[in-house]
Chains A and B, each alone.
Chain A
Amino acid sequence: MSEKKLVLIVEDEPDVSSFLTILLEDNGFTTDIAGNGREGMEQAAKLHPDLITLDISMPEESGLKMYKLLKENDDLKDIPVAVVTGITPEFKRFIEQHRKLPAPEAYFEKPIDKAEFIDTAKELTGQKS
């Protein structure tokens, strides 16, 4: 069996990050948590995860900032990002205003569909054809 894939969960709400942790670990992933965008960038650079789930509705817009920094960083831009958010219009506006940035690899609105979330996570980490 191949080595477990690592997912970095960037989320400020502890209940949501524990839920995602358990859900992902139950489905064969290992995880790491960052509580804000700044920590998220540090962890991403250090751990080079296979997937990042990113809450973009964290305080002071640090999720949006992290997304921009990630996609502008040559070393990290290929890590797939699944945006998990409560606010649809804000993220769409952000992507429209930053046309040079690519759209995220996946996009989930809270509350998430568990099966779809896991399917997508497997797909983005190359565990599914």
Chain B
Amino acid sequence: MSAASNSDAILNQFMKDSLFDALPMGAALVGSDKRIRAVNKQFEEVFGVFKGRLCYHALKQTQRECATCEADLCLAEKQMLVADHVLVDRHGRDIDASLFYQPVSLTGSGDPDHVLMLISKLTETRKWKREFDRLFEHVPCYISILDKDLNIVHANGKLEHTFGRAEGASCYKVYKGRNSPCTDCPAMQTFSDGLEHSSTQEGVTHDGKLAKYFVNVSPLSWGSDGVEKVIEISTDITELSRLEKEALDNERLVAVGQTVAGLAHTIKNLLMGLEGGMYMVDSGLKKGDEARLERGWDMLQRNFEKTTAMVRDFLSFSKGRVPSLIQIDPAKIIADVVELYHDAAGQQGVELLSGDEPAPELAPLDPEGIEACLTNLLSNGIDAASVREGGGGQVTMSTFDREGELIFEVRDNGIGMEADVKRRVFTTFFTTKGNRGTGLGLLTTRKIVQEHHGVIEVDTERGVGSVFRIRLPRQELVKVEEEQKIRNEKALQYR
């Protein structure tokens, strides 16, 4: 026998007896009845005895057939398939594996009658990739990957399920049906500065429903000139914002109830003042007491003026006033208010100052509304500073930009507030001024600030003073302005 034929024989022998066992993975030959006919060494080491067992018994230790049987598919389609499964080894431990299904014919002719199953454990990387794919598809968020033209390169199932076909289309088209990017697009910001950006947006689902979502954009990959792709993850907050609005409506109703109660109280005090005035005028006349007559007349006048002021305040609070925004210099509003009240403050022994912060950019504001807010806050500040122990009361009004917000501040060095006063100050009809205040000033202020999508807050310390701060996020101001445009356009249509 020649050396060559000898080596051929050895090779044939190896192929016949040992190749199956030498494979670096588990292998099994499974019949169309799912019974395992043969396995290699690797398989036996991992899954134990196989004789007579069904493949799902041996591989998953379960009595139930898999929901989708790739072995069946492989035989039917006569082609190789790959699928990932979580298998269970003979010690009961889970194994993440990729299974390759190769149709074979034992007779070597005709249709395949068996499946050769090769079982490869997943590497960590593949395992993570699989986990990621699962997360990407099943996470309860809309996820998309955008390129620089704001086209969606990749979208998850939830996004396409809610907003319709997404891949290849622009994000503004998919989410909102728009033909141009949104003015406050967080993705464009991320492309330009490489930072994470987020915002709240409203879109329209493929079946025409309004959807509100919170979107967060992060850079995903970088190229030679900056961010190449971003990932946009949006959480649906439609239901949440509905609940929020409901809570706000309830809060408003409660406030209205308290307002009516407080109003009744104020009116009764005014009536009592008027009654007193009438009594003094009346008895002064009868007694010929001119001094008393004069006091009574003053009292009538004062209470009449208070009634007028209260009615005016109440009307301005209850009026469903829509803010009318124009681009204006916030510093100018402050300057106007300071000029207007400088002398009045001086008369109460209070110095009125303007802050020295760098002037903010122009902003879309309702000047009349903001001026009313600042006047209300200023009037409170002057009152608090005028009773400062030892005099030297000051009120400082300032406006500046901070972290994307336009800020207005009214700071006094007056008497400050107790905790319970601070707690109630914006929420209900509330006054500490007896008959001098209507209790509507801060309520009206809060309403106007809310109409600008802003917040008002107060820092206060008893004996040190108070700072009332109006915070208006610039992004929100742009939205209020857009809403106003849409309203105006609609109004024009119906004209």
Q: How far apart are A102's CB and chain B's nearest CB, in angstroms?
A: 24
Interface string of A4-30 (1 = CB under 8 A from B): 000000001101101110110010000
- Say yes or no for A116: interface residue by CB 8 A criterion: no
Q: How far apart are B141's CB and chain A's nearest CB, in angstroms?
A: 48
The reply to whether B434 and A59 contact each other, CB–CB distance below 8 Å, is yes
Q: Which of A27-58 contact B (CB under 8 A)?
A: 57-58
- Say yes or no for B295: interface residue by CB 8 A criterion: yes
Q: Which of B253-304 contact A (CB under 8 A)?
A: 261, 264-269, 271-277, 279-280, 283, 292, 295, 299, 302-303
In the bound complex, how far is the Cα of B434 from the Cα of A16, in angstroms?
11
The reply to whether A22 and B280 contact each other, CB–CB distance below 8 Å, is yes
Q: How far apart are B306's CB and chain A's nearest CB, in angstroms?
A: 9
Q: Which of A16, A22, A89 contacts B269 (CB 8 A)?
A: A16
- Contacts A15-B276, A19-B275, A19-B276 known; A60 to B269 CB distance under 8 Å? no
Which chain A residue shows the least CB distance to B431? A59
The reply to whether A110 and B268 contact each other, CB–CB distance below 8 Å, is yes
The reply to whether A87 and B264 contact each other, CB–CB distance below 8 Å, is yes
The reply to whether B279 and A23 contact each other, CB–CB distance below 8 Å, is yes
The reply to whether A57 and B265 contact each other, CB–CB distance below 8 Å, is yes
Specify which chain A residues have a CB less than 8 angstroms from the CB of B275 in the assembled complex: 19, 111-112, 114
- Say yes or no for B418: interface residue by CB 8 A criterion: yes
The reply to whether A89 and B279 contact each other, CB–CB distance below 8 Å, is no
The reply to whether B283 and A22 contact each other, CB–CB distance below 8 Å, is yes
Specify which chain A residues have a CB less than 8 angstroms from the CB of B264 in the assembled complex: 86-87
The reply to whether A13 and B279 contact each other, CB–CB distance below 8 Å, is no
Which chain A residue shows the least CB distance to B278? A19
The reply to whether B432 and A59 contact each other, CB–CB distance below 8 Å, is yes
- Say yes or no for A109: interface residue by CB 8 A criterion: yes
- Say yes or no for B433: interface residue by CB 8 A criterion: yes
- Contacts A23-B279, A114-B279 known; A60 to B432 CB distance under 8 Å? yes
The reply to whether A12 and B434 contact each other, CB–CB distance below 8 Å, is yes
| Chain B interface size, under 10 / 10 to 19 / 20 to 34 / 35 or more | 20 to 34
- Say yes or no for B199: interface residue by CB 8 A criterion: no
In the bound complex, how far is the Cα of B265 from the Cα of A86, in angstroms?
5
Q: How far apart are B423's CB and chain A's nearest CB, in angstroms?
A: 12
In the bound complex, how far is the Cα of B345 from the Cα of A97, in angstroms?
43
Specify which chain B residues have a CB less than 8 angstroms from the CB of A57 in the assembled complex: 265, 269
- Say yes or no for B421: interface residue by CB 8 A criterion: yes
Most buried by B among A16, A59, A86: A86
Which chain A residue shows the least CB distance to B295? A18
Most buried by B among A20, A58, A89, A110: A110
Q: How far apart are A44's CB and chain B's nearest CB, in angstroms?
A: 21
Interface string of B400-428 (1 = CB under 8 A from A): 00000000000000000010110000000
- Say yes or no for B354: interface residue by CB 8 A criterion: no
Which chain A residue shows the least CB distance to B300? A15
In the bound complex, how far is the Cα of B269 from the Cα of A58, in angstroms?
11
The reply to whether B433 and A16 contact each other, CB–CB distance below 8 Å, is no
In the bound complex, how far is the Cα of B260 from the Cα of A89, in angstroms?
13
In the bound complex, how far is the Cα of B459 from the Cα of A73, in angstroms?
38
Q: Which of B276, B283, B292, B434 contacts A58 (CB 8 A)?
A: B434
The reply to whether B272 and A110 contact each other, CB–CB distance below 8 Å, is yes
Q: Which of A22, A58, A59, A87 contacts B279 (CB 8 A)?
A: A22
- Contacts A16-B269, A60-B418, A112-B272 known; A22 to B292 CB distance under 8 Å? yes
Q: How far apart are A40's CB and chain B's nearest CB, in angstroms?
A: 15
The reply to whether A26 and B283 contact each other, CB–CB distance below 8 Å, is yes
In the bound complex, how far is the Cα of B299 from the Cα of A20, in angstroms?
13
The reply to whether B273 and A19 contact each other, CB–CB distance below 8 Å, is yes
- Say yes or no for B435: interface residue by CB 8 A criterion: yes
Q: How far apart are B425's CB and chain A's nearest CB, in angstroms?
A: 12
The reply to whether B280 and A59 contact each other, CB–CB distance below 8 Å, is no
The reply to whether A18 and B265 contact each other, CB–CB distance below 8 Å, is no
Q: Which of A18, A22, A60, A109 contacts B421 (CB 8 A)?
A: A60
- Contacts A18-B299, A22-B283, A60-B432 known; A87 to B265 CB distance under 8 Å? yes
Q: Which of B196-234 contact A (CB under 8 A)?
A: none
Specify which chain A residues have a CB less than 8 angstroms from the CB of B299 in the assembled complex: 15, 18-19
Which chain B residue shows the least CB distance to A17? B276
Interface string of B342-368 (1 = CB under 8 A from A): 000000000000000000000000000
Specify which chain A residues have a CB less than 8 angstroms from the CB of B303 in the assembled complex: 15
- Contacts A13-B435, A58-B434, A59-B433 known; A86 to B269 CB distance under 8 Å? yes
The reply to whether B418 and A13 contact each other, CB–CB distance below 8 Å, is no
Q: How far apart are B300's CB and chain A's nearest CB, in angstroms?
A: 10
In the bound complex, how far is the Cα of B274 from the Cα of A59, in angstroms?
21
Q: Which of A76-121 contact B (CB under 8 A)?
A: 86-87, 89, 109-112, 114
- Contacts A22-B280, A59-B432, A60-B420 known; A15 to B268 CB distance under 8 Å? no
In the bound complex, how far is the Cα of B273 from the Cα of A86, in angstroms?
12
Shortest Cβ-Cβ A-B pairs, 9 listed: A19-B276, A86-B268, A86-B265, A15-B273, A110-B268, A111-B271, A59-B432, A110-B272, A111-B275
A-B contact list, 24 entries, CB within 8 Å: A13-B269, A13-B272, A15-B273, A15-B435, A16-B273, A18-B276, A19-B276, A19-B277, A19-B299, A22-B279, A23-B276, A58-B434, A59-B431, A59-B434, A60-B418, A86-B268, A87-B268, A110-B269, A110-B272, A111-B268, A111-B271, A112-B275, A114-B275, A114-B279
Interface residues of B (CB under 8 A from A): 261, 264-269, 271-277, 279-280, 283, 292, 295, 299, 302-303, 418, 420-421, 431-435
Task: A16-B269, A59-B434 are known; give 7 further A-B pairs, CB within 8 A.
Answer: A15-B302, A18-B295, A18-B299, A19-B279, A59-B433, A60-B420, A111-B274
